[in-house]
C-alpha cells in the first residue's frame, strides 16, 4: 500500500540523516482542534500492562480521575469552539463512578470513542452501552485492547488471565449489538506485519464477530514500555526539516489536544512527560508545540494516530 511505502520511506530517511547535537526541534501549529481527548480516569487503571506508555496502574495517581465538572467545562469549551470528535481514555475509563453521565453528556454534542481494556464491561454495562449507542444521535465506539491471538501472547503483556476476560467482553459487546474496535499494539513478534494482521482479523471472526474491526498501534518507547524493552536512541528525535513539504498535517497533534485533571497536553502520549503540559485550560492548548520529545519521532515515521 502506498501509505506503508510512505512511512517506510520516512523511516529510511530518518535513519540515514546526520543530526547536529544542537539541531532544534520542529514547531507545529494547531491547524484545527478536531479531536478532544479526555483522560477521564487519569493514570489509574485496573491493569498494569508491561507495555503501557504512561505507566498506568492501580497505584499511579500522577493524573487523578477527572471531576465531572472538569469534564463539563472542557465539553462546554469544545462545543463553543466546534470540536469534531471526542475520546475517553485513562487508565481504565470504566473505573470512573460517573462514567455513564460523562458518556451521555459527551454524546449529546458529538461522536465518542472510549478506549478500554473491557474488564469492567459486565452484562448490565454492555446493555446500557448498546441502548445508548442505539438512541444517541452521534456515533459511539468502544475500543477494546487485545495483545495476542493466544493467552500466552496477550497475558505476557497485559497480565495473567486477561486474555479470556477481554475476549468475553468483546463477545458480550457484540452480543448486545456493539461491534467494538479491537486495538492491538505491535510489540509482540510479527504484529506489525500483514500476515499477523490477517491472523488477528481471522481470530476475531472465529469468535463469532463476523464484521471484525481492528486497529494496530506502534509502540511508544516511554513509560513502562521503556523499562520492558528499551528507550529511544539519540537519533530517534525530530529536528527542523524532518517534516518535509507537507509540514505536520499527518501528525495527530496538528488537530488534537488532551485534557486531564492536571491540565492540557498536546496529545494522549505525552501526559507524563516533562514540559509537555501546556496550561490549565483549552485556551492555553491552542498554542503551537515543539516536537521535541522522542515519541514524536514514532508518530512521524510510523504514521501513528491514536484516533480510530
Nearest to 94 by CA among 53, 122, 64: 122
Using the minimum distance from each CB to another protein, give the nearer residue, 6 or 227.
6
Q: Which of 97, 124, 189, 211 binds another protein (CB under 8 A)?
A: 211
Of the candidate residues 92, 141, 153, 302, the single one contacting another protein (CB under 8 A): 141
Return the CA Rg of the chain: 19
Binding of residue 245 to another protein (CB under 8 A):
no
Least spacing, CB of residue 140 vs another protein, in Å = 7
Place of cell 539541531: 23
Tell whether residue 148 is a contact of another protein (CB under 8 A).
no
Q: Which part of the chain contacts another protein (CB under 8 A), choosing from 55-63, 80-88, 236-244, 286-294? A: 80-88
Residue 24 or 193: the one with the smaller Cβ distance to another protein is 193
Closest CB to another protein among 3 and 69? 3
Choose which of 21, 69, 137, 230 interacts with another protein (CB under 8 A): 137
- How near is the Cβ of 300 to another protein at its closest, in Å? 18
Q: Does residue 111 bind another protein (CB under 8 A)?
A: yes
Q: Which is nearer to another protein, 80 or 274 (CB)?
A: 80
Looking at the Cβ atoms of 211 and 230, the one nearer to another protein is 211
- Among 27, 32, 150, 288, interactor with another protein by CB under 8 A: 32
Site membership for another protein, residue 110 (CB under 8 A):
yes
Taking the complex as a whole, how short is the minimal distance between the CB of residue 217 and another protein, in angstroms? 12
Give the shortest CB-139-to-another protein separation in angstroms: 4
C-alpha 36, offset from chain centre: 12
Query: HSE on the CB side for 52, CA within 13 Å?
Result: 25
Q: To the nearest whole angstrom, how small is the minimum distance from the Cβ of residue 281 to another protein? A: 18
Residue 1 touches another protein, criterion: CB under 8 A: yes
Q: Does 77 bind another protein (CB under 8 A)?
A: no
Rounded to whole angstroms, what are the CA distances from 191 to 81, 119, 158, 181, 194? 38, 23, 15, 16, 8
Contact positions toward another protein, by CB under 8 A? 1-3, 32, 34, 78-85, 109-111, 133, 137-141, 177-179, 194, 197-198, 201, 211, 213-215
Amino acid at each position: 500500500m502506498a501509505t506503508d511505502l510512505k512511512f517506510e520511506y520516512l523511516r529510511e530517511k530518518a535513519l540515514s540523516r546526520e543530526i547536529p547535537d544542537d539541531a532544534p526541534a520542529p514547531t507545529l501549529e494547531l491547524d484545527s482542534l478536531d479531536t478532544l481527548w479526555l483522560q477521564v480516569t487519569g493514570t489509574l487503571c485496573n491493569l498494569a500492562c508491561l507495555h503501557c506508555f504512561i505507566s498506568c496502574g492501580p497505584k499511579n495517581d500522577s493524573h487523578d480521575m477527572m471531576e465531572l465538572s472538569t469534564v463539563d467545562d472542557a465539553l462546554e469549551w469544545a462545543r463553543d469552539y466546534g470540536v469534531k470528535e471526542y475520546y475517553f481514555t485513562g487508565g481504565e475509563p470504566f473505573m470512573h463512578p460517573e462514567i455513564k453521565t460523562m458518556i451521555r453528556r459527551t454524546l449529546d454534542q458529538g461522536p465518542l470513542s472510549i478506549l478500554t481494556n473491557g474488564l469492567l464491561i459486565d452484562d448490565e454495562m454492555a446493555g446500557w452501552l448498546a441502548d445508548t449507542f442505539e438512541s444517541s444521535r452521534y456515533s459511539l465506539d468502544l475500543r477494546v485492547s487485545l495483545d495476542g491471538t493466544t493467552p500466552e501472547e496477550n497475558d505476557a503483556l497485559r497480565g495473567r488471565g486477561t486474555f479470556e476476560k477481554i475476549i468475553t467482553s468483546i463477545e458480550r459487546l457484540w452480543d448486545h449489538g456493539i461491534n467494538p474496535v479491537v486495538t492491538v499494539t505491535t510489540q509482540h513478534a510479527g504484529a506489525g506485519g500483514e500476515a499477523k494482521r490477517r491472523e488477528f482479523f481471522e481470530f476475531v471472526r472465529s469468535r463469532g464477530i463476523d464484521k471484525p474491526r481492528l486497529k494496530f498501534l506502534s509502540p511508544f518507547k516511554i513509560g513502562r514500555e521503556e523499562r520492558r524493552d528499551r528507550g529511544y536512541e539519540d537519533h530517534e528525535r525530530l529536528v527542523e526539516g524532518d517534516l518535509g513539504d507537507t509540514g505536520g498535517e499527518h501528525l495527530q497533534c496538528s488537530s488534537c489536544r488532551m485534557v486531564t485533571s492536571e491540565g492540557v497536553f498536546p496529545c494522549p502520549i505525552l501526559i507524563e512527560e516533562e514540559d509537555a503540559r501546556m496550561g490549565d485550560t483549552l485556551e492555553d492548548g491552542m498554542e503551537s508545540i515543539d516536537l521535541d520529545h522522542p515519541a514524536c519521532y514514532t508518530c512521524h515515521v510510523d504514521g501513528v494516530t491514536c484516533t480510530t
